Every structure is written in structure tokens, then in C-alpha cells.
Amino acid sequence: MELVEKLIAENHYDEFSATSGRPSSSPSPLRLTSRHFPDVIPATGEKTNPTRQCALCSAKRDSRGKPARKETRYQCTGCQVSLCCPLFQKLSYKD
């Protein structure tokens, strides 16, 4: 029984991180409890000015039903989500 409890304690994760599938319909706990602070995405060995897709803009669809792709150089320092500058401003007013 101790072995089972030890295995559960070592392999238990408070947050489940799904790698694929439909995005969660419930809001992120970080969204409800913390402020979002924009920061430049740090440089890597390959790119000096890396960009990522804005999480909210790319969730929208254009008139043809394809994802609207918008690149950004900024991410939230707390939750590591990439957002374009206008959306950081909207989030700061909602919090």
C-alpha cells in the first residue's frame, strides 16, 4: 500500500495539460487571479526577434473560415501566453 501511495504522490499533477483537442471553455485560473504584464518574447539561439501567433486573434476565423493569423513579439510574463498589444490593453481594463 505504501508503494501505491508513493507512486501516486510522485506522479500526481494538480493541472492537467492537454496537448490537443478543443480549447477549454472555462477561463484560466490565472486570468481570474492575476494581472497580465506584457514582455518581449526572449531571443533563442536561432532567432534574435522571435514571434508567435496571438492566442486570441488566431482563435478567430476570417470570412472563408480560416484562422486569422497575427504574429506578435509580446507575451504575458506570468502565463506565457502570446498576445498582441491591443489585447493586453483590453485585458488590463477587464481585470
Taking the C-alpha atoms of residue 51 and residue 55, their distance in angstroms, rounded to an integer, is: 12
Task: Give the model confidence (pLDDT) of 35-93 as tens digits.
Answer: 667 888 889 888 899 998 888 887 788 788 887 778 888 888 777 888 887 776 666 55
Task: Give the model confidence (pLDDT) of 8-50 as tens digits.
Answer: 777 666 555 555 666 666 555 545 445 667 888 889 888 899 9
Specify the pLDDT at position 12.
65
CB 38 within 8 A of CB 83: yes
Question: Residue 70: which domain range?
Answer: 38-90
Q: Looking at the DSSP assignment, which residues form a beta bridge with residue 2?
A: none
Taking the C-alpha atoms of residue 38 and residue 27, their distance in angstroms, rounded to an integer, is: 19
Taking the C-alpha atoms of residue 92 and residue 95, their distance in angstroms, rounded to an integer, is: 5
Q: Give the phi and the psi of residue 43 in degrees, each rounded to 5.
A: -70, 150
Residue 25 lies in a domain: no
Specify the pLDDT at position 18.
54
Count of domains forming the chain: 1
Residue 44 lies in a domain: yes
Residue 84 lies in a domain: yes
Please state whether the predicted TM-score (pTM) of the whole model is above 0.85: no
Residue 75 lies in a domain: yes
Residue 1 lies in a domain: no
Residue 26 lies in a domain: no
